[in-house]
Chains A and B, each alone.
Chain A
Amino acid sequence: MLSRVANSLYWIGRYIERAENTARLVSVTNHLQLDLPKGIRPEWKRIVSILGYEELLDIKGIANDERQIMKFLIGDMDNPGSILSAMQSARENARTVRDVMPRESWEEINTLYQMAKSDAQKAYWPKNRHAYLQEIVRGAQTITGMLAGTMLHDESYQFIRLGRNLERADMTTRIIDVRSADLVPSSEHGLSPFENIQWMSVLKSLTGYQMYRRSVQEPVRRRDVLEFLFKERRFPRAILHCLGEIEGCAHSLTKNSLVVKRIREISQLVQQVDPGDLKQDDLHLLIDHLQLGLASIDDAVRETYFA
């Protein structure tokens, strides 16, 4: 299999996951906003910092304004994390590897991109936003399902899956990091109902609330939520689950020793740590460490297969 093709497939996996994650994040923030008491508004900029594009936002001189930030996150082609640019990149990569993917999955990627493009402007307004975001999530899930259900599960497929799970693990760490810190300025309003809402929103950003309930059967508390999102192997967006998937992909590829070594280092770290016991600052340091670890997997994949 060509290195260039493997590289494109890996990025298709990453970009589609990125579009979906951004859509989920924006959607949850919208819902959260409606539940908060008057006077407390989630800072829209928070979502931007979860995605790591604060600097770009500042360069572009965008204020903490709902509509402008929605535009930045949904349709801004300067922002590589916006839904539209992620979908465009996914499509461009898919065009170059049409010959290895099932025809219908290329068609689905193409259709989702066309929709993301034509309807983006409507989603800058609250009224249509939910429907738009839902379509993005649905489309991304359809693509994932089609690939799983129709594509030969050979190396090509493993590269897509690898990209998807690496992107997903990265997003989970980002959401935990920012959302657990100061989504709601708690010093003034230290009210437990809102703290509860805050942790619920962390779960919901990862579509994990319902599954948390089924799995944990405890109130929504920081300690349990962190434990769940780090270590619950059965939850597809938990860090340890994603690492397990990534390792599974690596095992079906040749020359995998460096990649597997890096994955195991991080998996061990996640297994050994008790995130619920960590104070906020230490949690932040741990997450920094994890993100560097994920980046080192990406490096190893690139060096081994794409060079």
Chain B
Amino acid sequence: MAREYNKLICNKPEGRSMAIRWGSYAVKGLHDELIQTRGKPRPAASQLCQFLHGLSDKEIEEYKSASELAIKLMGITFTVYSDQDGGAIDRAWPFDIIPRVIDKREWKEVERGLIQRVKALNMFIADLYGQQKIVKDGVFPAELLKDSVNYRPQCVGVKPPQGVWAHICGSDLVRDKDGKFYVLEDNLRVPSGVSYMLENRQVMKRVFPEMFGNENILPIDDYASKLYDMLASLSPRKVAKPEVVVLTPGIYNSAYYEHSYLAQQMGAELVEGSDLTVGDDDCVYMRTIDGLKRVDVIYRRIDDLYLDPEAFLPESTLGVPGLLRAWKAGKVALANAPGAGVADDKVVYAYVPDFIRYYLKEEPLLPNVPTYRCIYKEEREYVLGHINELVVKPANESGGYGMLIGPQASEEEREKFRKLIKSNPRNYIAQPMLTLSTAPTMVGNRVEPRHLDLRPFILSGKETYVTTGGLTRVALRKGSTVVNSSQGGGSKDTWIVDTEGGN
């Protein structure tokens, strides 16, 4: 099959200037999502590559401006903070018109791996706030718990419905040069990005209806209804239509667009902390034009520490006084449960494969990025000996602070980190440098390879649901691996293509 497509690609239709020539798109020393080797697309992407190859410069310009217009009209934005404009401003969502394609067969395996992983993570969180068997059995060291910034002693003893703590998880996946997917991290607090995944598809459908007609691209738009069903199933009151709300910190939060979008899609009320109050009966109420109305389920998009000034940071004005009390009394459901973030931490991450073996008696289907835990002598010795090949990360810092990138660091810096590791080994982990996969991305009206990752979302309630694909984020700067939209990252639609069924 692939050879036939190649022939088509090499034949240049007469009288048109072709913009995208796969023959000059080089793939060297890494995995490209669409192109196997020079001029040879992967089977799942072959129709797409053929379609793109057939476009003239003018058509590409038209598609690009059509997608920009769609994004502007649909009002898809994210918020960035700017000193110049005195606060938060809305930016249009940067979007690349070339989708990322994954074969359905491969995706099914990833899906199984994610379900397994999130199941084990939830069992771990429940165990930590319960009997702590995993600590007693010596699989997870007790001292790591003491240092965890996301461990909430206030949650000990709570048993949320269905034993689930992390109802919504966003796991970041990357592919290394071997083409295998690895889990880079699990976001269990308030993972964001799913609205962009849904909107990207809407944009693509508006701009490229012809591509959707010719391929077996699996649909993704049942997410909001799955989310609603899962949330409604958590309701403490058994009523026909429980009151589900989305709790947002407000319009100045960078993910406000998403909060509003999801509320709209679920037909749920979008509330701020000041809209809610906890009564003497420990029930949560919202202030409506008809008076107080009971709330059953809160999909909260506020971090733990700001949720309830009575239980956590007293100075927080975003939260609801008494909310934790209401949750512990079982009068309201919170998703994700407070304290779920304890499993969302670089050191805990390193133990996830052990959790899977411990709780499920299974081997992990989806690998972690190999991680060396400096708390163990053997692994520490390896790190100290190979520091020039590794990335060293402190446990409780985020956003790349206090990190050492071994291959790029000076000998002085490496020596500094060797000392740091020796003096506080349990605060450090190390990982090999990965070469992230790339995908063809529009740069002007040509294609160039750009690095990307993938964030699927996993919903856990009575059943577990994984989004079909996820949010693909792409680093738009050449050579960069920073995919955050606030730092020059963009996104692509993610296609799970069925190459077996249909045409």
A-side interface residues toward B, CB under 8 Å?
A: 1-6, 92, 95-96, 98-99, 103, 106-107, 110, 155, 253-255, 304-306
Contact = CB atoms under 8 A, between A and B. Distances in A.
B264 A107 contact: no
B290 interface: yes
Mostly, the A contact residues are helix
Given A98-B260, A103-B75, A1 B251 contact: no
Which one of B264, B269, B288 has the highest number of Cβ atoms from chain A below 10 Å of its Cβ? B288
B274 to A, nearest CB: 7
B73 A107 contact: yes
B289 A110 contact: no
A203 to B, nearest CB: 37
B459 interface: no
B289 A155 contact: yes
Contact of A2 (B74, B264, B288): B288
B301 to A, nearest CB: 13
28 contacts: A1-B288, A1-B290, A2-B269, A2-B275, A2-B286, A2-B287, A2-B289, A3-B287, A3-B288, A3-B289, A4-B272, A4-B274, A4-B275, A5-B269, A6-B289, A95-B256, A98-B260, A99-B260, A99-B263, A103-B74, A103-B75, A107-B73, A107-B75, A110-B75, A155-B289, A253-B289, A254-B289, A254-B290
B44 interface: no
B271 interface: yes
B250 interface: yes
B183 to A, nearest CB: 33
A98 B256 CA distance: 11
Given A95-B251, A98-B75, 7 more contacts: A3-B288, A4-B272, A98-B264, A99-B264, A107-B73, A110-B75, A304-B289
Interface of B: 73-75, 250-251, 256, 260-261, 263-264, 269-272, 274-275, 286-290
B343 to A, nearest CB: 31
A252 B457 CA distance: 42
A107 B286 CA distance: 28
Given A98-B264, A103-B74, A4 B290 contact: no
Contacts of B288: 1-3
Contacts of A95: 251, 256
A155 B250 CA distance: 23
A99 B272 CA distance: 13
Contacts of A304: 289
Contacts of A5: 269
A306 B288 CA distance: 8
Which one of B256, B270, B272, B275 has the highest number of Cβ atoms from chain A below 10 Å of its Cβ? B270
Contact of B289 (A92, A96, A107, A305): A305
B483 to A, nearest CB: 26
A103 B264 CA distance: 10
Contacts of B274: 4
Contacts of A99: 260-261, 263-264, 270
A301 to B, nearest CB: 10
B289 to A, nearest CB: 4
A255 B251 contact: no
Nearest to B72: A107
Contacts of B256: 95
A96 B250 contact: yes
A182 B167 CA distance: 68
B251 A106 contact: no
Nearest to A110: B75
Nearest to B292: A3
B186 to A, nearest CB: 29
Contacts of B75: 98, 103, 106-107, 110
A1 B289 contact: yes
Closest 7 CB pairs of A and B: A99-B264, A305-B289, A3-B287, A99-B263, A98-B260, A99-B260, A6-B289
B297 to A, nearest CB: 16
Nearest to B250: A96
Contacts of A103: 74-75
A110 B269 CA distance: 22
A87 to B, nearest CB: 15
Nearest to B291: A255
Contacts of B260: 98-99
A5 B290 CA distance: 13
A279 B272 CA distance: 52
A98 B75 CA distance: 10
Contacts of B263: 99
A92 B269 contact: no
Given A96-B251, A103-B75, A107-B73, A2 B271 contact: yes
A153 B212 CA distance: 36
B263 to A, nearest CB: 5
B344 to A, nearest CB: 28
A5 B288 CA distance: 9
Contacts of B271: 2
A92 B251 contact: yes
B112 to A, nearest CB: 35
A255 B287 contact: no
A255 B73 contact: no
Contacts of B289: 1-3, 6, 155, 253-255, 304-306
Nearest to B257: A98
Contacts of A96: 250-251
A255 B290 CA distance: 7
A95 B290 CA distance: 23
